[in-house]
Amino acid sequence: MEQQEHDIITRMNDRYMKMSKGHKAVAAYISDHYEQAVFMTAARLGETVGVSESTVVRFASALGYGGYPEFQKALEEWVRNKLNSVQKMGARYGKSTQSEILHSVLESDIEKLRDTIVNLDAAAFDAAVDMILEARNVYIVGVRSCEPLADFLHFYLNMIRGNIILVKTTSVTEIFEQMIRIDEEDAVIGISFPRYSMRTLKAMEFANDRNARVITITDTIHSPMNLYSSCNLLARSDMVSIVDSLVAPLSVINALVVALCMKQPEVVRRNLETLEDVWNNYQVYLNDEINFIDGEPMLHYPLQNENAG
């Protein structure tokens, strides 16, 4: 645990809020492009990020390293440990049968759900529901392994209310372009788990600077995602193998959707009835799936005149 607390990524996360603009740019690049950064000299890293070589050297010193070579060695060690996760998985599951692996992973997910139930702040959850309902626009940010969670939340929030904006991007610049109009009447939901995304963190910082309401879905009170958030929803997400477990975060998102539906059931009902009419009229699901509502087929298949022979 001590090693994890002092690794290079954790150091950057812990100090990010107090960093200068140039140091934040270096931290963001390293976090999102560590595979390339590990091979770069200080001069090359500075040129890539758009800062001076001396800024990169000072950045390394600010993190507590004796100089850039010591910093680069620490980054190499972190990347090596990251790549060794496949070997660690083999050591844990190598002699297990397929059914034993299934049982172990499911038990691990159940443990995370129990831990989330105990540690999730009910007041923060209630506040998040109110923020989402009251906001003019709701922006959702989740990248890398958190992107499916963001997609899922966007899909259902869009059924409940309008003006839901899913920020999909591969760069910080594009995030700012999509969020340029955010202000105090809006809300942003940032979803991030280790290794935390600097792109998501910068989006939340930008939203906070524009006085928007910021909600985070992350793993612990020590997450850097909490730096700019007034409403923190904590869901445990540990590494089972080389894959992040997203069961608990997804359950929290499910709970958000259900709570929002219960807050304004008539609005949700009208929206769903409108969608059902659209699906029926345009036979949206005709060729790929059939839903049943109250035991009756949702689609009526108005494909031909009933009086036709």
pLDDT tens digits for 249-286? 999 999 999 898 888 778 777 777 777 777 677 665 55
Tell me the C-alpha distance between 268 and 158, whole Å.
10
Could you give the CA distance from residue 199 to residue 93 in angstroms, rounded to a whole number? 33
Kindly report the average pLDDT of the chain as a whole number: 79
Is the domain of 254 the same as that of 208?
yes
Q: Is 24 helix (H, G, I), strand (E, B) or coil?
A: helix
* In a domain? residue 46: yes
- Split into its structural domains, the chain has a count of 3
Q: What would the two tokens of residue 79 be?
A: 């990347």
Same domain, 256 and 132: yes
CATH number of the structural domain spanning residue 137: 3.40.50.10490
Residue 203 near residue 167, CB atoms below 8 Å: yes
Kindly state the tokens that stand for 146.
Answer: 């958190």
Beta bridge partners, 187, equal 138, 213
At residue 30, the pLDDT reads 86
Asked if 154 and 193 sit in the same domain, the reply is yes
Sheet of 213-218: strand order equals: 164-167, 138-142, 187-191, 213-218, 231-234
Tokens of 251: 């359950």
| pLDDT score, position 105 | 75
* Residue 297 predicted with pLDDT over 50: no
132 and 254 inside one domain: yes
Beta-bridge partner residues of 292:
297
The domain boundary, picked from 65, 83, 101, lies at 83
Lowest mean pLDDT among 68-82, 137-151, 161-175: 161-175
User: In this structure, are 258 and 269 located in the same domain?
Assistant: no
In a domain, 100, yes or no: no
Summarize pLDDT for 45-96 with one digit per residue, the tens.
Answer: 999 999 999 999 999 999 989 899 999 999 888 877 765 555 555 545 556 6
- CA dist 141 and 162 (Å) reads 17
Q: Is the model's pLDDT at 241 over the cut of 60?
A: no
Percent residues over pLDDT 70 in the chain:
79
Bridge-based pairing state of the strands 164-167 and 138-142: parallel
Ordered alpha helix ranges (H), 228-264? 247-263
Q: Please state the pTM of the whole predicted model.
A: 0.64
Decide which of 208 and 287 is more confident.
Answer: 208
CA distance 185 to 187: 7
Low-confidence winner among 46-55, 101-110, 207-216 (lowest mean pLDDT): 101-110
Q: Do 53 and 129 lie in a common domain?
A: no
For residue 226, is pLDDT > 50? yes
Per the structure, the complete domain to which residue 32 belongs is given by 2-83
Write the CB contacts of 265 (distance below 8 Å, at least 6 apart in sequence).
none
Q: Tell me whether residue 121 is exposed, middle or buried, using C-beta atoms within 10 angstroms of its C-beta: 0 to 12, 13 to 18, 19 or more.
A: middle
Q: Do residues 52 and 129 share a domain?
A: no
Is residue 60 within 8 A of residue 68, CB to CB? The reply is yes
Q: What confidence score (pLDDT) does residue 309 get?
A: 42
- 7 lies in the same domain as 55: yes
CA 144/CA 125 separation, integer angstroms:
24
Same domain, 143 and 255: yes
Residue 281 CB partners (closer than 8 Å, separation 6+): none
- Give 1 or 124, the one with higher predicted confidence: 124
Together in a domain, 208 and 76: no
Q: Is the pLDDT of residue 294 over 60?
A: no
Give the contacts of 31 (CB within 8 A, at least 6 positions apart): 9, 12, 195, 196, 197, 198
Query: Quick one: pLDDT at residue 194?
Result: 77
Q: What is the pLDDT of residues 108-129, one digit of tens each?
A: 788 888 888 888 889 999 999 9
**Cβ atoms 40, 49 nearer than 8 A:** no
